């Protein structure tokens, strides 16, 4: 299990992380989603022990990353934004070097190397110099070094950035297959990617966790928007008191009328309509909205 507790990181006057906390349970595949500059890479560098937080702590299976970086890192495979790949080395020479650096035991080395190579589909490229590999193949090589020591946790920073659409599909497929054996945390600013791969999404905006949300629960939730002709405080308390309502937010409609967004576990619009008639609300509009990661994210981004 990964436990991130109240991590803070400043770069001079830039507050990159302002007290970020979350847990990753074994077997999960979790997306760290946020706009560019939100603090995702900083969080990942701290979790993997490559950067010290100014405050807060991270533990991996109970090992504190700052106090015992080596031991904690032995459970992690890390694909950084720019994994250092030595262009003059062949794929095979690079992976052998990484096996040395990881001090893989001689008895297991061949088996682990071939598992990483076949797992990432690099078997036909072993003698190729890294300099001659496409971006997609380099990314596969980055993944191969990350899984070489069979870590329980795979932490991937923007694994598909800079890839073409075919390569993106390929790397996503690879991540899905790796998820059968490892717990995965990856960062992305691409909503569809997170939606396609994850069980859960943690949304970071301006260095803060704005949501930690199961995607299944998100898909199962419903929202309705109620627009009124004029302000009426009784409406808000009646809506909040309705059975099945899990969230109520006050907003303005596009044409500037008072409005409420209601989140619920099922379609609640027929009951709202009945209540509005019974209570004689000055109802202007009642609408059911489907909840997608995009609408959810946009709501958070616009209220940030
Ligand atoms: P993300 O990965 O979500 O794009 P980052 O963690 O890279 O976000 O950056 C968060 C904030 O910290 C940004 O404002 C970025 O400009 C700043 N930042 C990141 N790394 C450094 C650094 N080494 N020096 C100064 N500022 C940095």
Q: If you ran DSSP here, which 8-state letter would residue 22 be given? A: E
**Burial class of 165 by CB neighbour count within 10 A (0 to 12, 13 to 18, 19+):** exposed
Name which residue sits closest to atom 25 of ligand 1, judged by CA. 11
| Three-state DSSP state, 65 | coil
Q: Is-above-0.85 flag for pTM?
A: no
Give the single-character DSSP code of 129.
Answer: B
CA-proximal residue: ligand 1, atom 6 (nearest):
39
Query: Could you identify the residue written with the tokens 């909840």?
Result: 291
- Residue 292's pLDDT is 82
Angle at 77 between CA 52 and CA 126, to 5 degrees: 135
| 199 Cα to the center of ligand 1, angstroms | 26
Runs of H (alpha helix) within the chain: 40-47, 69-73, 91-101, 106-119, 135-147, 165-178, 191-197, 215-220, 233-240, 269-279, 293-303
Q: Specify the pLDDT at position 239.
A: 94
Can you tell me the distance from the alpha carbon of 167 to that of 173, in angstroms, rounded to the nearest whole number?
A: 10
Buried b (16+ CB within 10 A) or exposed e, 194-222: bbebbebbbbbbbbbbbeebebeebeebb
Provide the pLDDT for residue 85. 81
CA of 62 to the centre of ligand 1 (A): 28
Tell me the HSE value of 81 on the side-chain side, using a 13 A CA sphere: 11
Confidence at residue 304, expressed as pLDDT on a 0 to 100 scale: 53
The count of residues in the chain is 304
Query: What pLDDT score does 220 carry?
Result: 79
- The reported pLDDT for the residue numbered 302 is 72
* Closest CA relative to residue 156, chosen from 233, 256, 234, 48: 48
Give the H or E element holding residue 292.
Answer: none
> Residue 199 is encoded by which pair of tokens?
């069980």
pLDDT at residue number 82: 77
Dist. CA 236–CA 250, nearest whole Å = 8
Distance from the CA of 42 to the center of ligand 1, in angstroms? 6
pLDDT confidence of residue 254: 86
CA 113 to chain centre: 28
Q: Please say whether the beta carbons of 195 and 293 come within 8 A.
A: yes
Residues 156, 176 contacting (CB under 8 angstroms): no
Indicate the SS3 state at residue 87: coil
DSSP 8-state symbol, 90:
B
Choose the residue to mutate in 7, 9, 11, 204 for probing ligand 1, maximizing ligand atoms within 8 Å of C-beta.
11
Closest Cα to atom 10 of ligand 1: 39
Residues with CB under 6 A from ligand 1: 11, 14, 16, 34, 36-42
Tell me which residue has its CA closest to atom 14 in ligand 1: 37
CA of 106 to the centre of ligand 1 (A): 40
Residue with tokens 């070489």: 148
- 202 alpha carbon – ligand 1 mean position (Å): 18
List per-residue pLDDT tens for the chain, 304 residues long: 999 999 999 999 999 999 999 999 999 999 999 999 999 999 999 999 999 999 999 999 999 999 999 899 889 999 988 777 889 999 999 999 999 998 999 899 999 999 999 988 999 999 999 999 988 899 899 999 999 999 999 999 998 888 888 888 888 988 998 888 889 999 998 888 898 899 999 999 999 999 999 998 888 788 899 999 999 989 999 999 999 898 898 988 889 999 998 988 788 999 999 999 999 999 999 999 877 888 888 878 776 5
| Ligand 1 probe mutation, 16, 36, 79, 194, most atoms within 8 A of CB | 16
Token representation of residue 176: 């899905």
State the Cα–Cα distance between residues 268 and 262, nearest whole angstrom: 9
Start-to-end Cα distance in the chain = 29
């Amino acid at each position: 299990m990964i436990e991130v507790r109240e991590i803070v990181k400043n770069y001079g006057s830039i507050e990159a992380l302002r007290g970020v906390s979350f847990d990753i349970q074994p077997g999960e595949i979790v997306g760290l989603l946020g706009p560019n500059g939100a603090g995702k890479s900083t969080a990942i560098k701290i979790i993997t022990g490559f950067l010290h937080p100014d405050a807060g702590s991270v533990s991996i299976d109970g090992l504190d990353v700052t106090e015992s970086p080596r031991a904690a890192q032995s459970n992690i495979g890390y694909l950084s934004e720019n994994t250092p790949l030595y262009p003059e080395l062949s794929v095979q020479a690079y992976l052998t070097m990484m096996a040395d650096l990881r001090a893989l035991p001689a008895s297991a080395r061949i088996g682990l190397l071939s598992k990483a190579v076949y797992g990432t589909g690099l078997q036909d490229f072993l003698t190729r110099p890294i300099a001659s590999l496409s971006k997609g193949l380099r990314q596969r090589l980055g993944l191969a070094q990350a899984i070489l020591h069979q870590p329980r946790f795979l932490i991937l920073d923007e694994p598909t950035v800079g890839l073409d659409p075919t390569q993106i599909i390929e790397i996503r497929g690879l991540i899905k297959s790796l998820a059968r054996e490892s717990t995965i945390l990856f960062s992305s600013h691409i909503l569809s990617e997170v939606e396609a791969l994850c069980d859960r999404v943690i949304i970071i905006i301006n260095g803060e966790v704005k949501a930690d949300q199961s995607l299944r629960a998100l898909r199962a939730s419903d929202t309705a928007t109620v627009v009124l002709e004029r302000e009426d405080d009784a409406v808000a308390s009646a809506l909040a008191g309705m059975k099945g309502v899990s969230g109520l937010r006050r907003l303005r409609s596009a044409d500037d009328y008072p409005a409420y967004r209601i989140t619920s576990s099922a379609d609640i619009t027929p009951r709202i309509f009945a209540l509005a008639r019974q209570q004689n609300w000055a109802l202007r509009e009642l609408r059911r909205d489907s909840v997608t990661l995009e609408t959810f994210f946009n709501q958070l981004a616009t209220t940030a």
